[in-house]
Amino acid sequence: MIRKLKSGEYRLYSRKKDPKTGKRRNLGTFSTRKKAEAHERAVQFFKRGG
């Protein structure tokens, strides 16, 4: 899940909320949406035991 920050950067959040904090985990901040989307795909790949 990608959100745009006020600074113009994009931050990648986990899809599920973290049970400990009740918030979504920050999975990285990227300068462009394209970079964030590419990283999101990589994260999904590794989750499946890539």
Model confidence pLDDT, tens digit, residues 29-40: 999 999 999 999
- Main-chain phi, psi angles of 47, to 5 degrees: -60, -35
Q: For residue 22, give the DSSP letter.
A: S
Strand partners, 10: 4, 30
Put residue 12 in one of left, alpha, beta given phi > 0 → left and psi -120 to 50 → alpha: beta
Global pTM reads 0.81
Whether 15 and 1 have beta carbons less than 8 Å apart is answered as yes
pLDDT at 1: 92
Residue 29 tokens, joined: 């901040």
Q: What is residue 4's predicted lDDT score, i.e. its pLDDT? A: 97
Count the neighbouring beta carbons within 10 Å of the beta carbon of residue 37: 14
